[in-house]
């Protein structure tokens, strides 16, 4: 019996499921200006998945990277939901390095 597909499906479901709280808590404590760092980490993990030899680990790494890249596009949307009062706002958010430069960039959207 080959359980590779089942394990990969459950892993993908759990990783994507953890992406939702990652976006919510990331925006709460860090703010949406961290999106380039989150996207960069996702892209690096996706690229690293190309070098991982076991197929299962490569697939899981790709899903983690894609979840981070997707989450980076959701941070600004989450900030809008916070402003609308749907989620709590943390008063002392950690500002990212180069925040003034990042504010001039348009955040990606899907």
pLDDT for 89 equals: 87
Rounded Cα gap, residues 28 and 15, in angstroms: 20
Rounded to a whole number of angstroms, the distance between the first and last alpha carbons of the chain is: 38
The domain tally of the chain equals 1
109 in a structural domain: no
User: pLDDT (tens digit, 0 to 9) for every residue of the chain, 110 residues total?
Assistant: 789 999 999 999 999 999 999 999 999 999 889 999 999 999 999 999 999 999 999 999 999 999 999 999 999 899 899 999 999 888 888 888 988 888 888 888 87
Enter the pTM of the model. 0.88
61 in a structural domain: yes
110 in a structural domain: no
**Residue (of 54, 70, 69, 60) closest to 13 by Cα position:** 60
Domain that holds residue 28: 4-104
Q: In this structure, what token pair is assigned to residue 35?
A: 């999106």
100 in a structural domain: yes
CA angle 66, 28, 60 (to 5 degrees): 20
70 in a structural domain: yes
**Residue (of 70, 78, 64) closest to 27 by Cα position:** 78
pLDDT for 106 equals: 84
């Amino acid at each position: 019996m080959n359980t590779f597909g089942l394990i990969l499906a459950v892993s993908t479901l759990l990783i994507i499921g953890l992406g939702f709280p990652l976006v919510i808590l990331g925006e709460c404590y860090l703010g949406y200006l961290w999106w380039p760092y989150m996207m960069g980490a996702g892209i690096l993990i996706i690229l690293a998945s190309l070098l991982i030899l076991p197929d299962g680990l490569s697939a899981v790494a790709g899903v983690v990277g894609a979840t981070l890249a997707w989450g980076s596009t959701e941070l600004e949307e989450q900030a809008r939901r916070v402003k609308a009062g749907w989620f709590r706002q943390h008063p002392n958010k950690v500002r990212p390095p180069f925040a003034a430069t990042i504010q001039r960039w348009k955040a990606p959207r899907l």
